Amino acid sequence: MVDVTNPIDESKNLILEKPDEVYRFISLYYLHQDKLSWSRTQTMVLIESGILAAAYKICSFLSIVPLLLGAIIVFLFWGLIQRDWQIRDNQLEKLDDIHKYYGVHPFRIEAKHYWWKGRFVAFFLTYSAIVFNIIVSIFLISYYLIQFFERVNICNLCDL
């Protein structure tokens, strides 16, 4: 008899009673989360492209604004992608239970090196974009400050 108060026992029993339906649901949910993270990754790339285009088009001290806001937005999107992966990977244990029930071994190929993994590449590219935006912002701040001080001609002010 199944303990109704414990949802884990109930889900294990459901997997054994109707593995086809549960497998279909869990695999579709897994794929949904995977597509969601990929879609957010594409959106993040488009936002970064728009940020760089806006900063180039403004071409003044105000170019710093889209670059810094963009770094924040890209960071927030990275957090959403991480959450999608966390939710997606939570379903792997359930999928493995059903695979074991059918005697199917999961098809997973591990990367030979850590830096070939998709997670590492996405992490590297995301933080590279954030660091690039910050570096360009710092460069623009220093460039426009130097121009400002040359116009004011601080040496003449010191003689007063």
How crowded is residue 128: how many other Cβ atoms within 10 Å of its Cβ?
Answer: 10
Is 2 a member of any domain? no
Number of domains comprising the chain = 1
Is 1 a member of any domain? no
pTM for this predicted structure: 0.72
Domain hosting residue 50, numbered range: 7-158
Is 11 a member of any domain? yes
Is 12 a member of any domain? yes
What are the counts of helices (DSSP H) followed by strands (DSSP E) for the chain?
A: 6, 0
Is 31 a member of any domain? yes
pLDDT tens digit at each of 160 positions of the chain: 444 444 445 555 555 566 677 778 888 888 899 899 999 999 999 999 999 999 999 888 899 999 999 999 999 999 999 999 999 888 887 787 777 777 877 666 777 777 777 888 899 999 999 999 999 999 999 998 888 888 877 666 555 5
How crowded is residue 55: how many other Cβ atoms within 10 Å of its Cβ?
Answer: 22
